[in-house]
Structures are given as structure tokens and as C-alpha cells.
Amino acid sequence: MPYAPAELEKPVTIHKLRQMKADGEKFTSVALYDAPTAGAAQRAGVETVLIGDSLGMAMLGYDSTVPVTMEEMIHHIGAVARGNRKSLIMGDLPFMTYATPEQALTNAARIMQAGAHMVKIEGGTWLAETVKMLSERGIPVCAHLGLTPQSVHKFGGYRIQGRSDEQAGQILDDAAVLDEAGADLLVLECVPSRLAKRITDTVSMPTIGIGAGSDTDGQVLVITDLLGLTEKPPKFSKNFLRETGDIHGALRQYAEEVKNGQFPTAEHSFN
């Protein structure tokens, strides 16, 4: 039966997302940065919203996520929290604000106090102690593996991760370690679809894909990609505004296509 997107009836929780994973029901996420767009996402039935440090490139004119500051993140998280009270709100910890567990705890508290329900951090096994500390202190964590934009200079550009057996094995190991450490969600960015499926089938936490195929538990797109505002859109994105003609319709169409399995297709994925 086709999914009919509607405004969320009650606030989305981590428990709700885990139940959706168990039931095989897809959920949607949008990276966005302001109150009115957050409200539109809520009315479209988008379960999670992410205030990502992607705001540096999408909104602030930076050439990467690296220059984004805690103050900028807190400003935008507060705006989204005031516009959306039902979607689960995730906030990124920006570059070099979680280099140690103690630093992560201090900055995660600021993100949560600004209105986020969960913090997102990029990295693998080295973050296990940090994830455990945050989780034990009541701070939910979304991990992020694959193409981690804060490491773009280390990668030498925005490159697909996990294509070699060695890389794939490392990402698999990282996912298992972070799951065990207590991470609640996992973003998989720009990894081969087969690897994303294997991780999704292995870990207990729900996975969110972006350029990771259709077998993850949820999907996320950046609002500027979803609305066709990005000058050179990535392969994994789709301009939903072109099809619908208005922002509210674009968000509803995105949610519907994710729920029905129409998005993403092989065209938006990597082998």
C-alpha cells in the first residue's frame, strides 16, 4: 500500500527508530538549518532532522565543513529546535571539538542544551571510549562512517570509501565496535551499497544512508540538494523540487519515495 506522508503525530524517539528497523519500515532524515524548513519537514512526516556541519558549505559559503564553529552549530540547532518539536533532532559536533572524550562531553552538553536530542560525530574505532562516555551520561550518539567530510583533506577529496577489501573490512569493524560502545544511530556516507547492506544487517542500531544504496534503515539528504539549490549536485542526490514545484511538496515526495522504496535507486548509489 503506498505511503501517505502526514505530519508526525508525536515526537520521534530512538526507541521508535529501533522499532522501525525491527519492522523493516524505512525512515527519513533531512539535513537542514532553520526554523521554517524544520517545520515543513515535520509536517511532511520526516522522522529525523540533522543540523549538520554541512551548513558550512550549504549555507555559509565555506569550501568544506572544517571551518564551522561550535557557536555556528549552536545558533542553527536552536533555530531548528524552535521550528520542529516532533522530529528527532541531531546536531553535529564540528571539526576538532571531540578530539578527547572529555572535550566531547563538554561540547556535546552544549549541543544538547541548544535543543538537540542527539549528537553526531565522525570516526571509527578510536571513538569507542568517547561514545561509551557520552552514552553512559545520557547523551545519545549518532556515529558516522564512510566518507567523513571533516577528514576530506586526509582523504584527498570527496572519495567513495570501502571499495577495497581492506577499507570495507575496516568500516565493518568500526561499525561493530561503535555499536558495542553504545552508539544509537549510524550514518553511512558514500560507501558501496553491498557494504552498507552488510553493516545494516549486522549492527543493532538503525543505519542512515547517503550515497549508500537502498538497504539502509533510513535515508538522509541535505536540504539544498533535495531542492536543487546545489550548483554541482552529488550523484546520490535528487531534485525533488523540480518534480513538485513547491518546498512542502518536495519534502513530502522525498518522504514518500523513501518509504515506498522508490528512492534511492541504483542511479544514486555506488557499486
By annotation, the residues acting in catalysis are: 189
Q: How far apart are CA 90 and CA 199, in angstroms?
A: 21
**What are the percentages of helix, strand and coil residues in the chain, rounded to 5?**
45, 15, 40
Dihedral, CA atoms, 62, 83, 105, 170, nearest 10 degrees? Answer: -60
Instruction: State the pairing for strand pair 207-210/141-146.
Output: unpaired
Residue type, 243: E
Whether residue 31 contacts residue 221, with contact meaning beta carbons closer than 8 Å, is answered with yes
DSSP strand E in the chain: where?
27-31, 48-51, 88-92, 118-122, 141-146, 185-189, 207-210, 218-222
Whether residue 219 contacts residue 209, with contact meaning beta carbons closer than 8 Å, is answered with yes
